[in-house]
C-alpha cells in the first residue's frame, strides 16, 4: 500500500509543482494542503486527470484548529477525503480559509455533486462559507438556530434550551439552566513525561 | 375561456410517518401525483456526537458509536476502534480480529433482515417483517450473550474486544405461557456454547433465505413496486458518493472488504454480488445475496475460532486494562488500571481516516488527535448521508407512493444520518 502511495505522492508533486504544499505521508495515509486560490482547479484536475482519477468524494468536513496544541496558523479548514476506485487509493485534501473572521472556501459541488450536503453541514456547524454553492442552508441544527456549534468557542451545553410553557401553551426558548461540567480534564502530556529520571 | 390555475402541491412526509424510518421530514412538491422535488429536512435526531466526543476521553467516546446506526451497532464501533488503533499503532490479537469479523457479519445479516422486512412492510407486504424479525431475534440473543446487552454492546475496544466469547447460551425457562415440552424444544440449540448456537443458526439460515425468496423475489406485486424505481446509473452513483449495496446495486464492483481488506477479511472466502440495472429491485437482490455471503463468512470464522484459543485484547496496558486478577495482585497494574479509567489513554498527535464496509455502505472515522486524552476532532462519515441526499434525484418523476419504496431501498436510519 505504501509503495502505491509513494507513487501517488510523486505524481502529485510532478503534476502540481508549487501549486500545492508538500504532501505529508503519515500512518499510511497521504495528506496534501492546497492554497485556497488553487483549490478549485486542483480538485477538478484530481478528478479528471487519469493519473489521479478520484471519482469519489467520500467525505468533506470542517475543522476548527483554534485550540490545537502548539498550532499556529489559519483557524478553519475544509478537509476532503477522496477515493479513487480505478487506482484504489485515498487522499486527504485540506484547504485553509484565508480569513478567520469570515471563512470562505470554494465549493466543489460542481465537481462532486455529493458535496452539496457536506458543505451545508460544514457551513452549519463551523460557519465556513462555500463560494459557488447554490443552496447553502443550515442542515443539522434547529430551524432558526443562531451560531455555529462545532466551533471551539461554542460551549457544549449551548446557549438556549427549549421547553413547553403551560401558561403560554406553546414551546418557548430560554437561556440554558444547566452548568457545563467537566469530569475528566483535557491533558496533553509533555514529550518526555515518564521517561526522564525514571520516577514517572 | 377560463383556464384553471394549476399549482404544485406541497406535502410534508414525516417527521412522524411510520415509513420515514425515524424522524425524517421530507417536503415533497407534487404535480398531481408525480413528485417534482423532494427536500429532506434532517437533523431532528442530531445529538452532536462529534462535539460530545471532544469532551470525552477516547474510551468514553466509544459507546456513542453504537447510538449512530442503532440497527447495526457493532460495525460503527469497529471503524472508531480501527481509527484509534491506527493512531496508537497497537496490534490487535488475531482472535479478536476473527471475533470482530464474525460480529460484523452477524450485524450485516441483522441489518439487511431489518431493511428487507421493513421495506416490504412499507410497500405492502405485511408478512415479510414477521419472518425477518424472527431471525433477528436469534441474532439479538447472540449479541446479548456476548456483550450482555441486546443493542448497544460497546463490545469492541481499541486493542481488541472486551471479552472472549461465552461458553454457554442463556436458556428459556418454564413459565405459565411455555410448558416443559416447548421450553425443551426452544432450548435445543442453546445447550452448547455460543459458537454452537451460531453455527446452528448458520445452518438454518439458508433455508430462511429461500423462504424470503419464495415470498418476494418472484412476487408480482413486489416486482411492480420495485423494478425500475429509483434507477441510478453507475456514473451518477459515483458522483452522488454512494457506497455499499447502493453502489453495487448500480453495477459498480466495489467492496472495501475485498478492495482494502481490514482485519482478516483477506483470509475469508466470499463473493461480491453486483446489480445490473441500478433499481430498487437490484439493490434488494444484492442485499439478499450479501446475507448469504455473510453467512459463509460466519461459518469460516466459527471454524477458526473453535480451533484457536488465545488473547482477545492487547496486553499493552497503556491502551487496554489489565485483567482483574493481575490488577489486584500487582501495584504497577493497579496504577495502569487507575490511570486508564480516570485520565484515559493518550493518543499520539496525528490524524487518521479509516473506512470499513458497514452494512449500509462506507463508514469512515476521521480522528484528529493533538496528543491529549480526548479527541481533538472526530468526523463520522456515515453511509446514510449521501444516500439520503440523493433522494431528490431518485424521487423526481416518480409517483408519491414510490417515495416510500425509495426511502426503503436507501436503508435509512436517521441516527446514522443525523449523528
Give the per-residue pLDDT at A197.
47
Q: Residue A158: pLDDT above 90?
A: no
Per-residue pLDDT band for B2 (boundaries 50, 70, 90) equals low
Using DSSP's 3-state secondary structure scheme, residue A51 falls into coil
Q: For residue A71, what is the nearest residue in chain B, using CA coordinates?
A: B370
Angle (nearest 5°) at CA B301 between B204 and B256: 105
Residues 6+ apart with CB under 8 A from A73: A65, A96
CB atoms inside a 10 Å sphere around CB B176: 5
Q: pLDDT tens-digit profile of B128-156?
A: 889 999 889 989 999 889 988 888 888 99
CA B168 vs CA B101, B142, B298: distances in Å: 21, 11, 18
Give the per-residue pLDDT at A193.
52
Give the per-residue pLDDT at A192.
52
Q: Residue B203: pLDDT above 50?
A: yes
Going by C-alpha positions, the residue among B75, B6, B35, B4 that lies closest to residue B383 is B75
Whether residue B349 and residue A69 make contact (CB cut-off 8 A), yes or no, is: yes
Share of chain B above pLDDT 90, in %: 29
CB atoms inside a 10 Å sphere around CB B247: 31
Q: Residue B5: pLDDT above 80?
A: no
Per-residue pLDDT band for A122 (boundaries 50, 70, 90) equals very high
Q: pLDDT tens-digit profile of B371-386?
A: 888 999 999 999 889 9
**Euclidean distance between CA atoms B24 and B109, whole angstroms:** 24
Give the per-residue pLDDT at A1.
59
Strands A129-131 and A160-165: unpaired
Using DSSP's 3-state secondary structure scheme, residue A48 falls into helix
Whether residue B379 and residue A186 make contact (CB cut-off 8 A), yes or no, is: no
**Euclidean distance between CA atoms B139 and B147, whole angstroms:** 12
Whether residue B239 and residue A114 make contact (CB cut-off 8 A), yes or no, is: yes
User: Which residues of chain A are within 8 Å of residue B260 when distances are taken between CB atoms?
Assistant: 88
Burial status of residue B319 (CB atoms within 10 A of its CB: 0-12, 13-18, 19 or more): buried
Query: Any alpha helices (H) in B152-239, and if so which ranges?
Result: 180-187, 194-212, 220-226, 234-239
CB atoms inside a 10 Å sphere around CB B230: 26
**Euclidean distance between CA atoms A56 and A111, whole angstroms:** 10
Using DSSP's 3-state secondary structure scheme, residue B76 falls into helix
Look at phi and psi of residue B14 and say left if phi exceeds 0, alpha if psi is from -120 to 50, else beta.
left
Using DSSP's 3-state secondary structure scheme, residue A186 falls into coil
Give the per-residue pLDDT at B24.
85
CB atoms inside a 10 Å sphere around CB A140: 22
Q: For residue B46, what is the nearest residue in chain A, using CA coordinates?
A: A140
Q: Residue B18: pLDDT above 50?
A: yes
Let me know: does B35 contact B27? Beta carbons within 8 Å. Answer: no
Angle (nearest 5°) at CA B316 between B313 and B318: 115
Average pLDDT value for chain B: 88
Give the per-residue pLDDT at A199.
44
CB atoms inside a 10 Å sphere around CB B187: 14
Cross-sheet strand order for the sheet of B34-41: B9-13, B25-31, B34-41
Give the per-residue pLDDT at A77.
92
Count of A–B CB contacts within 8 Å? 116
Which of B38, B51, B232 is the mutation pick for testing A, counting most A CBs within 10 A? B51
Average pLDDT over residues B180-184: 89
A29 → closest Cβ in B57, B352, B376: B352
Nine-digit cell string for A8: 501517488
B341 backbone dihedrals φ, ψ, rounded to 5°: -100, -5
Q: Residue A179: pLDDT above 80?
A: yes
Burial status of residue B17 (CB atoms within 10 A of its CB: 0-12, 13-18, 19 or more): middle
**Euclidean distance between CA atoms A41 and A159, whole angstroms:** 40
Q: Residue B286: pLDDT above 80?
A: yes
User: Which residues of chain A are within 8 Å of residue B241 when distances are taken between CB atoms?
Assistant: 56-58, 112-114
**Euclidean distance between CA atoms B300 and B308, whole angstroms:** 13
Q: Residue B249: pLDDT above 80?
A: yes
Q: pLDDT tens-digit profile of A42-93?
A: 898 888 888 888 989 999 999 999 888 888 888 899 999 999 988 888 999 9
Give the per-residue pLDDT at B108.
92
Residues 6+ apart with CB under 8 A from A2: A25, A28
- DSSP state letters, B139-173: HHHHHHHHHSSSS----EETTEESSPPPSS-----
Whether residue B260 and residue A61 make contact (CB cut-off 8 A), yes or no, is: no
Nine-digit cell string for B183: 421450553
**Euclidean distance between CA atoms B153 and A84, whole angstroms:** 34
Which of B353, B360, B418 is the mutation pick for testing A, counting most A CBs within 10 A? B353
Per-residue pLDDT band for A191 (boundaries 50, 70, 90) equals low
Give the per-residue pLDDT at A198.
44
Average pLDDT over residues B94-116: 92
Q: For residue A141, what is the nearest residue in chain B, using CA coordinates?
A: B43
Angle, nearest 10°, between helix axes B280-307 and B400-409? 20
Per-residue pLDDT band for B72 (boundaries 50, 70, 90) equals confident
**Euclidean distance between CA atoms A133 and A114, whole angstroms:** 12
Half-sphere exposure of B236 (CA within 13 A, CB side): 17
Asked if the C-beta of A114 comes within 8 angstroms of chain B's C-beta atoms, the answer is yes
User: Which residues of chain A are within 8 Å of residue B42 when distances are taken between CB atoms?
Assistant: 139-140
Q: What's A28's DSSP letter?
A: T
Q: pLDDT tens-digit profile of B208-237?
A: 999 999 988 888 889 888 998 889 999 999
Per-residue pLDDT band for A195 (boundaries 50, 70, 90) equals low
User: Which residues of chain A are within 8 Å of residue B46 when distances are taken between CB atoms?
Assistant: 140-141
**Euclidean distance between CA atoms B257 and B216, whole angstroms:** 28
Using DSSP's 3-state secondary structure scheme, residue A99 falls into coil
Q: pLDDT tens-digit profile of B155-167?
A: 998 989 988 888 8
Asked if the C-beta of A100 comes within 8 angstroms of chain B's C-beta atoms, the answer is no
Going by C-alpha positions, the residue among A118, A129, A54, A49 that lies closest to residue A85 is A54
Average pLDDT over residues B44-62: 89
Strands A29-33 and A89-96: parallel
Let me know: does B252 contact B274? Beta carbons within 8 Å. Answer: yes
- Compute the 3-state secondary structure of chain B and give helix, strand, coil in percent, each to the nearest 5: 50, 10, 35
**Euclidean distance between CA atoms B209 and B191, whole angstroms:** 25
Amino acid at each position: 500500500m505504501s509503495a502505491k502511495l509513494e507513487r501517488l505522492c510523486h505524481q502529485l508533486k510532478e503534476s502540481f509543482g508549487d501549486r500545492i504544499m508538500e504532501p505529508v505521508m503519515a500512518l499510511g495515509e497521504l495528506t496534501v494542503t492546497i492554497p485556497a486560490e488553487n483549490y478549485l482547479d486542483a480538485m477538478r484536475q484530481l478528478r479528471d486527470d487519469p493519473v489521479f482519477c478520484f471519482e469519489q468524494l467520500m467525505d468533506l468536513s470542517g475543522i476548527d484548529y483554534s485550540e490545537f496544541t502548539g498550532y499556529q496558523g489559519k483557524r478553519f479548514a475544509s478537509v476532503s477525503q477522496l477515493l479513487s476506485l480505478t487506482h484504489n487509493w485515498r487522499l486527504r485534501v485540506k484547504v485553509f480559509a484565508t480569513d478567520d473572521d469570515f471563512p470562505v472556501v470554494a465549493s466543489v459541488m460542481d465537481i462532486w455533486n455529493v458535496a452539496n450536503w457536506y458543505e451545508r453541514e460544514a457551513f452549519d456547524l463551523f460557519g465556513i462559507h462555500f463560494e459557488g454553492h447554490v443552496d447553502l442552508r443550515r442542515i443539522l441544527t434547529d430551524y432558526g438556530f443562531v451560531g455555529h456549534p462545532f466551533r471551539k468557542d461554542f460551549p457544549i451545553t449551548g446557549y438556549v434550551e427549549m421547553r413547553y410553557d403551560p401558561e403560554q401553551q406553546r414551546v418557548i426558548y430560554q437561556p440554558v439552566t444547566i452548568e457545563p461540567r467537566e469530569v475528566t480534564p483535557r491533558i496533553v502530556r509533555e514529550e518526555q513525561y515518564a521517561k526522564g529520571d525514571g520516577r514517572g | 375561456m377560463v383556464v384553471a390555475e394549476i399549482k404544485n402541491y406541497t406535502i410534508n412526509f414525516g417527521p412522524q410517518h411510520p415509513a420515514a424510518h425515524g424522524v425524517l421530514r421530507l417536503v415533497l412538491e407534487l404535480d398531481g401525483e408525480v413528485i417534482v422535488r423532494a427536500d429532506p429536512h434532517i437533523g431532528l435526531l442530531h445529538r452532536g456526537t462529534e462535539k460530545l466526543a471532544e469532551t470525552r476521553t477516547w474510551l468514553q467516546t466509544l459507546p456513542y458509536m453504537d447510538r449512530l446506526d442503532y440497527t447495526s451497532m457493532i460495525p460503527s464501533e469497529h471503524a472508531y476502534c480501527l481509527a484509534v488503533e491506527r493512531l496508537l499503532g497497537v496490534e490487535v490479537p488475531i482472535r479478536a480480529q476473527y471475533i470482530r469479523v464474525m460480529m460484523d457479519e452477524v450485524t450485516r445479516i441483522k441489518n439487511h433482515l431489518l431493511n428487507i422486512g421493513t421495506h416490504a412492510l412499507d410497500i405492502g407486504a405485511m408478512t415479510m417483517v414477521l419472518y425477518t424479525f424472527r431471525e433477528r431475534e436469534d441474532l439479538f440473543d447472540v449479541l446479548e450473550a456476548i456483550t450482555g446487552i441486546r443493542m448497544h454492546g460497546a463490545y469492541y475496544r481499541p486493542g481488541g474486544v472486551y471479552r472472549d466469547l461465552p461458553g454457554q447460551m442463556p436458556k428459556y425457562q418454564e413459565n405459565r405461557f411455555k410448558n416443559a415440552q416447548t421450553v425443551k424444544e426452544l432450548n435445543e440449540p442453546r445447550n452448547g456454547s455460543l459458537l454452537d448456537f451460531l453455527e446452528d443458526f448458520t445452518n438454518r439460515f439458508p433455508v430462511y433465505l429461500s423462504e424470503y425468496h419464495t415470498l418476494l423475489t418472484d412476487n408480482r406485486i413486489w416486482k411492480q413496486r420495485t423494478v425500475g424505481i429509483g434507477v441510478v446509473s453507475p456514473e451518477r452513483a459515483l458522483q452522488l458518493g454512494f457506497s455499499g449495496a447502493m453502489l453495487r446495486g448500480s453495477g459498480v464492483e466495489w467492496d472495501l472488504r475485498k478492495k482494502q481488506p481490514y482485519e482478516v477479511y483477506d483470509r475469508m472466502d466470499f463473493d461480491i454480488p453486483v446489480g445490473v440495472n441500478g433499481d430498487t429491485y437490484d439493490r434488494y437482490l444484492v442485499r439478499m445475496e450479501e446475507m448469504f455471503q455473510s453467512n459463509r463468512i460466519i461459518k469460516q470464522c466459527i471454524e477458526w475460532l473453535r480451533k484457536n484459543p488465545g488473547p482477545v485484547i492487547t496486553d499493552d496496558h497503556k491502551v487496554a486494562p489489565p485483567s482483574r486478577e493481575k490488577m489486584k495482585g500487582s501495584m504497577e497494574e493497579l496504577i495502569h488500571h487507575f490511570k486508564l479509567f480516570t485520565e484515559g489513554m493518550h493518543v499520539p498527535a496525528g490524524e487518521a481516516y479509516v473506512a470499513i464496509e458497514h452494512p449500509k455502505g462506507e463508514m469512515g472515522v476521521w480522528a484528529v488527535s493533538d496528543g491529549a486524552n480526548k479527541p481533538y476532532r472526530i468526523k463520522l462519515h456515515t453511509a446514510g448521508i449521501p444516500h439520503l441526499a440523493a433522494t431528490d434525484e431518485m424521487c423526481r418523476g416518480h409517483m408519491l407512493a414510490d417515495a416510500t419504496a425509495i426511502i426503503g431501498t436507501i436503508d435509512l436510519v436517521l441516527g446514522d444520518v443525523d449523528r
